[in-house]
Structure 1
């Protein structure tokens, strides 16, 4: 009888966490970087609260989600950026065939279009918005991509000019390329990507729309990104 390795057993158990459509829907919703209540996730996935609670318990116990309590409310979020990167990476492998299928309803078509134009990928910007920003930063010498993503000296000064502090440290890289599952090209992640996303939302350059991760660039955002990075408004719509 062949003895299987503990690593194989552990990998299979971890993979099983996402081998359920309800749990996968929870993790995709939490890629917006926010904490959700169990009730919100239940409504999002269209399951009973008791079912949601059972699935959330498995995800927390398995290390994908973290739980926070405030008074009577229970919130959950992805445990860290590494967990978000794992979910997004799996999505990049899983989605191409599904994305090629025509949308079944006008609502689905609208949601898919909004997500492709701009969205959050956990705590950084993705979609055409995210790749347009990464491309513009590269063209202006703010971002170097010869051997992975790295901010240049000009890039560090650019962030400082925005008043954005890049709190480097820990295991998270200052800049990292993240493969965009709709554009099939990388956008900016890491500490810099997260800081830029926060700044864009706090400054009103982008606003969240709908219940998914989609974001929309505002008129103020179009002006700012045009002045700062030379991005044409048409590329953001």
Structure 2
């Protein structure tokens, strides 16, 4: 297979399914052959990212992802994309191990946010506790001259409940009321200009419950657009 890319997914599986669905829906296709060539690595047994980042005595997820990258190197894709925000804690190590470009979801999200919301200054980050504590987004937000605003403990509890109890435990079921409540809390309690959806489960919530008025920068939607742009460009090369 020529001109294909590799997707490092399965963190979690239902969120990865959302990425694939969005990517395919946005591909300009009128016949089978118009869709993109890709290999999906749905590595569902990767240790929980947040569990490790909050407690380094727990299983580290880096070795599993390094193995995935090394396996995909043998297949010679054009590029790789990893559809898990929290896993980007080890982006530098994984990019160094890859023989091809590895797209950077947090970096691409902040770049897209700046274009869509040029007046935004206070950026709310809705994400896993692991992403928040390890500051996965911080360097990109700070480099853009923006202010990162993290959830309060009460809001983080709601985010955790939506990610783990609603979506992960219920196989992709989204509590739309809870999702919209989280967005409202962040906008009104934290006085932010825009909210980054910095977890792919939150991106799934946005896909299935988009009927709200709050400005969001959806990381998975953004990386799907970047994937599509790059794949189509390389196909024409």
TM-score by length of 2: 0.27
Name the larger-Rg structure. 1
TM-score by length of 1: 0.27
| Structure with larger RCO (C-alpha < 8 A, sep 6+) | 2
